[in-house]
Amino acid sequence: MATNARKTSARSRADGKAQPALKTPPPASFTKEQDLKAYRDMLLIRRFEEKAGQLYGMGFIGGFCHLYIGQEAVVTGMAMAIKEGDQMITAYRDHGHMLAMDMDPRGVMAELTGRRGGYSRGKGGSMHMFSKEKNFYGGHGIVGAQVPLGTGLAFANKYRGNDSVSLTYFGDGAANQGQVYESFNMASLWKLPVIYVIENNRYAMGTAVTRSSAETNFSQRGVSFRIPGIQVDGMDVRAVKSASDLAVEWCREGNGPIILEMETYRYRGHSMSDPAKYRSKDEVQKMRSEHDPIEQVKARLLDSKWATEDDLKAIDKEVRDIVADSADFAQTDPEPDPSELYTDVLI
Ligand SMILES: Cc1ncc(C[n+]2csc(CCOP(=O)(O)OP(=O)(O)O)c2C)c(N)n1
Ligand SMILES: [Mg+2]
């Protein structure tokens, strides 16, 4: 559907041109194949993250490790809306993003355990992985740092005259960073094809959005820069897909940047060392039982008789096998040779 159809109200500009406001589109209607794919892709992320959590507990993973469990619908729905050549960049909660960009689970898991076969040859760890081949630009540990970089990717696309779009993800906490607004200004001024995906999972480390943010409607953070934004149910993969379709089309039509605020939730702590005392167990349990992105698709598949319990078990087995293989590889692949200590390093 053309994005033009969704432009609703108009705010007059000094130059007389209207600034459109956009409405959140209804969730996409999925075919059986799309629902099955969404289920399988989200399950892969969930099982991969559970395994990463186990390996961390067993001492195989050094440094930081931030799990994406609960937020799977965001990257999965967005990945269903993009095409070859579109780029993705995010922060440190990045394993799901890499799997959604079709990166090899072995390479991701082996990077977590610091092995040779990892995407950064075992020298980057959880927060620093890249694949130019798969158009994934990291993995960034400094909060907000990826936002100017993602904006730069969009600048390069415009400069080169291709129609690729930059998907620049960041969190509700990062949304309060100054460099985000410097990026917004330039992206809007130069009409850069960038989708700012704000993953509002309600917390930045142990701080709830209501304590850290004067304006908690993150979709409106671009108003001063004439960047439209919409709020999206980030726990429903179909809602994510339709919003992503709209945003991708908006960028490819040459309208400049757009913001998608994904309302989502992380089930685990901020990182592996977070006891999560800042929220109640009931709050987490309520999200899990009433809004889980994977359970929603599962119920739909069963209700519509598009899949039987046995079909879903077979998908679960396929996914578990991939994850088990990646974990085996990540425990047996050798560590980098000491001579690698000075390669790939700027000194
Ligand atoms: C510039 C900077 N300041 C502080 C930190 C410490 N820090 C790491 S994650 C984080 C919270 C970010 O929260 P959010 O953007 O909501 O992302 P989420 O962890 O929820 O995915 C903070 C303050 C950092 N890494 N970089
Ligand atoms: Mg957050």
d(CA 165, CA 248): 7
201 lines ligand 1 (CB under 6 A): yes
SS3 state of residue 19: strand
Does the residue 114 lie in any domain? yes
The total number of residues shown for the chain amounts to 347
d(CA 177, CA 91): 13
Is there a contact between 167 and 78 (Cβ–Cβ < 8 Å)? yes
pLDDT in tens, 188-228: 999 999 999 999 999 999 999 999 999 999 999 999 999 99
d(CA 200, CA 345): 34
CATH number at residue 94: 3.40.50.970
pLDDT in tens, 163-183: 999 999 999 999 999 999 999
Q: Which of 196, 205, 261 to mutate to test the pocket of ligand 1 (most atoms within 8 A of CB)?
A: 205
Does the residue 2 lie in any domain? no
Count structural domains, the chain: 1
* Cβ neighbours of 127 (radius 10 Å): 20
Does the residue 109 lie in any domain? yes
Does the residue 25 lie in any domain? no
Is the confidence at residue 114, as pLDDT, over 90?
Answer: yes
Does the residue 335 lie in any domain? no
Does the residue 339 lie in any domain? no
77 lines ligand 1 (CB under 6 A): no
Helices marked H in 80-198: 95-100, 105-112, 146-160, 178-189
Does the residue 10 lie in any domain? no
Identify residues whose C-beta is under 5 A from ligand 2, the ion: 171-172, 201, 204
Is the confidence at residue 11, as pLDDT, over 90?
Answer: no
What per-residue confidence (pLDDT) applies to 19? 58
What per-residue confidence (pLDDT) applies to 15? 54
Is there a contact between 139 and 108 (Cβ–Cβ < 8 Å)? no
Does the residue 223 lie in any domain? yes
204 lines ligand 1 (CB under 6 A): yes
d(CA 262, CA 126): 23
Residue with tokens 């996409």: 28
pLDDT in tens, 18-52: 556 899 999 999 999 999 999 999 999 999 999 99
Structural domain containing residue 201: 31-325
Residue with tokens 């999560």: 276
265 lines ligand 1 (CB under 6 A): no
What per-residue confidence (pLDDT) applies to 14? 46
Predicted TM-score (pTM) of this structure: 0.95
The band of 17, judged by pLDDT with boundaries at 50, 70 and 90, is: low
Q: Which amino acid is at 166?
A: S
176 lines ligand 1 (CB under 6 A): no
What per-residue confidence (pLDDT) applies to 4? 45
